[in-house]
């Protein structure tokens, strides 16, 4: 602790160099934060869903195919309800709201409204609004964040033109839901019976969702449902919510690798840039370091001081980048790519990356400086 | 009789340039008693600074015994040598070698950071050392704000602040003007006479050597002792 004063004074000794290194680190950390957060966002849903007991039943050929609606009879039978507490139909509607501009794109689902609260219990819907939804077939509910983004209020008319389904929706916003996870507040749900009415009672079901009573019931449900439909013309594929999410993240496999690769390159540039600064520092201070060691400072102390200097520079740069990112994305809730990432949360791991960058940058110059012979250092003409 | 603070017995030092041995010291035996002020003189390359480095434990002898303050330096590891330097050695360099980002006070305080003294105790020691060298009014000055003579006096304060067993001075007046040179030599003499400090000083200057109680001549790595 006594040496910290010297560490800070040394770090800021050459003001221009310190400012340039801190500025460079801040810029690169900002890019890194952006990339790492994007990577975190890509996989966030997958991680969160691992704690849920929901099970998805879809057509084995994929989501584009419908499942026979009479499967619901089996899913609500005693054989299944021993392992699940509720069943809900869900259809991905697609369609167009206003126009094809990405700002008007959001997920629209037809859902069994009567079991929605039980199935997705992380959503909080005020009782009076939920009651209004049950009493209005053309009513819909939207995530609070989505409603804010689109400028909707309770009572807003939301017309959606169909594409997969040859019908248009004429919805009225009757409820807003919130969630502990702001990522979940980006969807719109309307009543499945309204869609069925518009499709002339054809009972088109995209998916069934089951809520397992316990985690242990999930594999049993998968096995039972798939065994039931195995030899039918429409076999199903039943999976946990985590597995369901993994289908989508798997599609982004290459993007994840690309983002991770670019992030690594940025980190390497930051390490090399700071390492160059620290190498200059160590070279310029050969005599000074030798003097310190002649006074009785040990090699580990010298190591600590040079690594400390590097950390002052990178952590200050990283702190600036992190602080501005937190203010922009977490506090002001501004996403740099709102259409792609409606919610953009800065991953705390970036702080660890700034520290790791500082350590990596200084380790080689610090080791060289600490291990140099004192007599060689004192002999050096500077 | 005072106990020997320095005891060199048959000390040799050989450097290697590529694969060629370059002997610098050969069979050096020397004893310095506590409270002595010894000047090491000799032409360039005679091995004066090498002896100083061996005494400080910042270089190791190729052969022979180097004992300082009763400790055999050859038997010590690097961390033990660092502790030894911190406790027993006060180093004064030709080019002062103060840390430019630290004030005079902070420079003098540096060796005390290695001790367990409290902040208040450190302050007391630093003020006392700066008082001895006559720079109590320059506590907050940075090295660039001091003259060469003043810088060297701060360096001397840094060397004595831990009350070391021995002061090692490598050409302490080599970079000073005449007036500052005299001030520094008077200061060293005072440290020896008044504070009973054992001092070993490397110098080219016969006038500086005359300040010491004993002059030891070195020529081509071989000792040639005489009393002055």
Residue A58 lies in a domain: no
Question: Domain end: A233, A263, A285, which one?
Answer: A233
A284 and A205 co-located in one domain = no
A157: DSSP letter: E
Whether residues A226 and A320 fall in one domain: no
Whether A292 sits inside 8 A of B110 (CB atoms) is: yes
Cβ <8 Å between A296 and B102:
no
Q: Which of A3, A10, A291 is the closest to B113 by Cβ?
A: A3
B219: its two tokens: 């020529």
Is position A238 within any domain? no
Q: Is residue A31 part of a domain?
A: yes
β B71-72/A84-92 pair status: unpaired
Question: For A372, which residue in chain B has the nearest alpha carbon?
Answer: B58
Best mutation target among B50, B94, B97 (most A Cβ atoms within 10 Å) is B97
Find the helix packing angle between A253-284 and A15-49, rounded to 10°. Answer: 150
Number of domains chain A is built from: 2
The arithmetic mean of pLDDT across residues B168-172, rounded, is 94
**B78 reaches A (C-beta below 8 A):** yes
pLDDT of residue A37: 75
**A15 CB near a chain B CB, below 8 Å?**
no
**Per the structure block, which two tokens stand in for A73?**
């009879």
* Chain B contact for A3 (CB, 8 A cutoff): yes
Q: Is residue A239 one of the residues assigned to a domain?
A: no
pLDDT under 70: residue ranges of chain A: 43-51, 251-253, 335-345, 347-348, 380-382
* One domain for residues A191 and A71: yes
Domain span holding position A109: 66-233
Interface of B with A in 96-155 (CB under 8 A): 97, 99-102, 106, 110-111, 113-114
Q: Give pLDDT tens digits for B57-72.
A: 999 999 999 999 999 9
User: How far is A212 from A100, CA to CA, in rounded Å?
Assistant: 38
DSSP A79: H
Is pLDDT of B228 > 50? no
Interchain contact, B114 vs A288, CB within 8 Å: no
Answer yes or no: do A105 and A31 share one domain.
no
Q: Is the pLDDT of residue B227 over 50?
A: no
A113 touches chain B (CB under 8 A): no
Chain A residues in contact with B158 (beta carbon < 8 A): 295
> Are A226 and A354 in a shared domain?
no
B82 and A9 in contact by Cβ < 8 A?
A: no
Q: Is any Cβ of chain B less than 8 angstroms from the Cβ of A294?
A: yes
Assembly ipTM: 0.91
- Check residue B189 and give its pLDDT: 95
pTM over 0.80: no
Top-tier CATH class for B35-63+76-223: alpha beta
Do A222 and A84 reside in the same domain of the chain? yes
B15-53 pLDDT tens trace: 888 889 989 999 999 999 999 999 999 988 888 999 999
Residue A51 domain flag:
no
Query: Domain boundaries in chain B?
Result: 35-63+76-223
- Based on the fold, state whether residues A347 and A257 are members of the same structural domain: yes
B53 in contact with chain A, both atoms CB, cutoff 8 A = yes
Distance CA A32, CA A55 (A): 36
Asked if residue A260 and residue A226 are part of one domain, the reply reads no
Mean pLDDT of B164-184: 92
Both A79 and A176 in one domain: the answer is yes
Residue A337 and residue A368 share a domain? yes
For residue range A16-26, what is the model confidence (pLDDT) as tens digits?
999 999 999 88
Contact A295 B58 (CB under 8 A): no
User: Could you tell me if A124 and A261 lie in one domain?
Assistant: no
Question: Nearest-CA distance from A353 to chain B in Å?
Answer: 30
A229 domain-assigned? yes
Of A121, A125, A61, nearest in space to A88 by CA: A121
DSSP state string for chain B: -PPEEEEEEEEEEEEEETTEEEEEEEEEEEEEETT-EEEEE-STTSSHHHHHHHHHTSS--SEEEEEETTEEGGG--HHHHHHHHHHHEEEE-TT----TTS-HHHHHHGGGGGS---HHHHHHHHHHHHHHTT-GGGTT--GGGS-HHHHHHHHHHHHHTT--SEEEEESTTTTS-HHHHHHHHHHHHHHHHTS--EEEEE-S-HHHHHHSSEEEEEETTEEEEEE-
Do A268 and A329 have their domain in common? yes
Rounded mean pLDDT, B83-112: 94
Q: Is residue A55 part of a domain?
A: no
Contact state of B85 with A295 under an 8 Å Cβ cutoff:
yes
- Is there a domain that residue A53 lies in? no
Q: Which residue from B59, B83, B99 is facing A296, i.e. has the nearest CB? A: B83
């Amino acid at each position: 602790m006594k040496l910290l004063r010297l560490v800070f004074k040394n770090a800021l000794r050459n003001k221009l160099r310190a400012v340039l290194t801190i500025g460079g680190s801040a810029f690169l950390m900002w890019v890194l934060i952006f990339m790492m957060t994007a990577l975190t966002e890509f996989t966030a849903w997958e991680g969160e869903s691992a704690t849920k007991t929901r099970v998805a039943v879809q057509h084995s050929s994929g989501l584009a195919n419908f499942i026979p609606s009479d499967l619901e009879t089996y899913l609500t039978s005693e054989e299944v309800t021993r392992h699940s507490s509720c069943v809900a139909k869900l259809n991905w509607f697609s369609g167009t709201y206003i126009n094809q501009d990405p700002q008007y794109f959001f997920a629209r689902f037809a859902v069994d409204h009567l079991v929605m609260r039980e199935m997705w219990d992380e959503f909080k819907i005020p009782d009076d609004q939920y009651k209004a939804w049950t009493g209005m077939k053309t009513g819909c509910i939207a995530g609070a964040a989505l409603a804010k983004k689109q400028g909707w209020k309770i009572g807003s008319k939301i017309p959606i033109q169909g594409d997969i389904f040859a019908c248009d929706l004429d919805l009225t916003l009757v409820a807003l839901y919130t969630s502990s996870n702001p990522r979940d507040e980006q969807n719109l749900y309307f009543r499945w019976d309204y869609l069925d009415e518009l499709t002339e009672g054809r009972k088109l079901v995209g998916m069934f969702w089951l809520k397992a009573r316990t985690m242990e019931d999930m594999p049993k449900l998968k096995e039972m449902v798939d065994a039931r439909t195995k030899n039918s013309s429409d076999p199903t594929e039943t999976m946990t919510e985590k597995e369901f999410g993994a289908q989508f993240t798997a599609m982004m496999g290459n993007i994840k690798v690309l983002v991770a690769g670019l992030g690594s390159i940025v980190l390497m540039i930051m390490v090399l840039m700071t390492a160059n600064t620290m190498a200059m520092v160590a070279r310029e201070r050969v005599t000074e370091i030798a003097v310190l060691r002649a006074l009785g400072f040990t090699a580990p102390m010298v190591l600590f001081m040079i690594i400390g200097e590097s950390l002052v520079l990178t952590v200050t740069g990283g702190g600036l980048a992190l602080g501005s990112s937190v203010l922009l994305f977490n506090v002001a809730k501004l996403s740099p790519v709102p259409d792609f990432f409606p919610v953009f949360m800065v991953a705390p791991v970036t702080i660890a990356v700034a520290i790791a960058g500082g350590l990596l940058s200084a380790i080689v110059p610090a080791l060289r400086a600490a291990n140099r012979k004192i007599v060689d250092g004192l002999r050096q003409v500077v | 009789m005072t106990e020997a603070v320095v005891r060199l017995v048959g000390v040799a030092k050989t450097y290697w340039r590529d694969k060629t041995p370059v002997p610098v010291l050969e069979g050096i035996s020397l004893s310095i008693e506590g409270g002595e002020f010894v000047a090491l003189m000799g032409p360039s390359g005679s091995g004066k600074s090498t002896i100083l480095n061996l005494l400080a434990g910042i270089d190791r002898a190729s052969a022979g015994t180097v004992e300082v303050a009763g400790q055999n330096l050859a038997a010590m590891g690097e961390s033990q040598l660092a502790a030894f330097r911190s406790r027993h050695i006060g180093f004064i360099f030709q080019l002062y070698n103060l840390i430019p980002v630290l004030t005079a006070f902070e420079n003098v305080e540096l060796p005390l950071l290695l001790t367990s003294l409290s902040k208040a105790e450190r302050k007391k020691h630093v003020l006392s050392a700066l008082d001895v060298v006559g720079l109590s009014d320059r506590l907050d000055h940075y090295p660039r704000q001091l003259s060469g003579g003043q810088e060297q006096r701060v360096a001397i304060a840094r060397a004595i602040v831990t009350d070391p067993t021995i002061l090692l001075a490598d050409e302490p007046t080599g970079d000073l003007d005449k007036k500052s040179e005299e001030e520094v030599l008077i200061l060293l003499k005072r440290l020896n006479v008044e504070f009973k400090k054992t001092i070993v000083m490397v110098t080219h200057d016969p006038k500086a050597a005359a300040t010491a109680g004993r002059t030891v001549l070195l020529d081509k790595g071989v000792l040639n002792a005489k009393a002055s």
